[in-house]
Amino acid sequence: MVTSDPLKMRLTERQLQLPLAPDGTSLLAFLANNITNALANDQLPVRLAVTHSNDNGYDCEVGVYEGRAGLRSLLRSSIFDFRRREAETTSSFNTVLVIPTGIGAQIGGHAGDAAPVAKLLGASCDSLITHPNVVNASDMNELPSNGMYVEGSLLSRMLMGNVGLQNVRSNRVLVVLDNHEKRFVDAAINTVNAARATYGLDSAEIVVLEPPLRTLGETMASGRASGTVENLEALWEILDEREGEFDAIALASVVNVEVPHIDYFRSGGEIVNPWGGVEAMLTHTVSSLYDVPTAHAPMMESAEIANIDPGVVDPRMAAEVVSLTFLQCVLKGLHTAPRIVTDKGDFSKDDIFTVENVSCLVIPDGCIGLPTLAALNQGIPVIAVRENRNLMRNDLTRLPWEPGQLYIVENYWEAAGLLTSLREGISPGSTRRPLSGVKAVSYTHLRAHETEADLVCRLLLE
């Protein structure tokens, strides 16, 4: 097994092709075992996407943290650790909405353009748990009033049964910026101060990172957005030195991408957002290491790019072209993001939200990652939305769902109606026509001490 340079800490993405899981084998356990065995000793998985599956097996893309030397602690648990929930708590109906970052989703693939979906589904449940990609829109964040803003890896860990969420009144937000051109650093500082002045953000501190992170957005073979992050050592030092002084982390760094900005904005939304994938890898890692809410905003690369006039763009991209920092949505979300509870002894407390409280998961059709696999194993109903087309190529009906656990709908309007049916305890099929009747089947009880052979002989004689 090849071992990477132990002095160099970085995030990267690995492509793995795995055989089909044997019948009767837990897909989650199968992927966990095979992915762990495929990685080097100093590599830890931080993110998983099954991009394509068929009779030959699974194409997986795995975000990997590598190089342990100098790290204050390893990831406190594997992303594959799983605790089966004891039972569903039915005192409220709570929905998890996931739209994975970097998969080219038609809805939620750009700048907060899934926020209307979040509000729609939020109206159909008591609480909506979602992640930054759904509602972050540069200078706007339209999280519904009953929403919980949960970073993607923490959301996955919650569904896997390993963390709880506790609502807070506010967080002390530590802001870490790349050392970059003065114009953009000043704009980020002004953004933080604007949040303090307008909605009372408690910013623990603003730290300018030197050397800055080296972040590169790249495209995987599947078309997914991903990338690499280097120069992580200074970030770990900052977070280690200030541990206990903050409740949430807002990151802003330059993400260099392969796609010319003008081409992206003039594509009409056909080019996958090139920033989100590598941002998700970074926040997954930071959240997993420090057990605090984390979100990232890309800093503008240069004045030349900032001065580009893209004209009128696709509405899904509009929030991006009217912002200079893209940071306000992050601050707004982290301001009241739930506290992360890792002590399982606290999970039974009334104010701790755990996987036992999850009533349903809503995803784009074709997506298999940790949230889908966790829901499958936890017995959580899943609604897959066809209209939210994306790059993932998986037939969800091939997974071993329990009867009535998987629902495939055309759009989010249908998803909202289905959520309402499930919340009210109405069998969804009873609202459609034709409504087929229930068939009666014959059953003959064995007489006392009668064996099956005796029963066969008696029935033949009769």
Is the pLDDT confidence value at 355 over 50? yes
Residue with tokens 């909202």: 416
Strands 360-364 and 368-369: unpaired
| 248, 173 Cβ separation under 8 angstroms | yes
Reported in sequence order, the residue ranges of 140-265 that DSSP labels E, i.e. its strands, are 140-141, 147-149, 164-166, 172-178, 202-209, 214-219, 225-230, 248-257
Look at residue 47 in the predicted model and tell me its pLDDT.
Answer: 96
Reported in sequence order, the residue ranges of 321-422 that DSSP labels E, i.e. its strands, are 339-341, 360-364, 368-369, 382-385, 406-409
Look at residue 75 in the predicted model and tell me its pLDDT.
Answer: 53
Look at residue 455 in the predicted model and tell me its pLDDT.
Answer: 65
> d(Cα 156, Cα 4) in Å, to the nearest integer?
27
DSSP-based three-state secondary structure for 375: helix
Q: What angle do CA 399, 155, 419 make, to 5 degrees?
A: 65
Give the CA distances from residue 317 to residues 208, 273, 323, in Å, rounded to whole numbers and listed in that order.
28, 9, 11
Look at residue 450 in the predicted model and tell me its pLDDT.
Answer: 65
> d(Cα 295, Cα 202) in Å, to the nearest integer?
16
User: Mind listing the pLDDT tens digit for each residue in 182-202?
Assistant: 999 999 999 999 999 999 999
Tell me the average pLDDT across 78-102.
Answer: 96
Maximal C-alpha separation, the chain = 97
This prediction has a pTM of 0.93
> d(Cα 246, Cα 239) in Å, to the nearest integer?
9
Of the candidates 216, 89, 124, 213, the one whose C-alpha atom is nearest the C-alpha of residue 415 is 124
Starting from the edge strand earliest in sequence, which strands make up the sheet with 147-149, in order? 147-149, 127-130, 94-97, 360-364, 382-385, 406-409
In the numeric block, which tokens belong to residue 101? Answer: 């970052």
Is the pLDDT confidence value at 88 over 90? yes
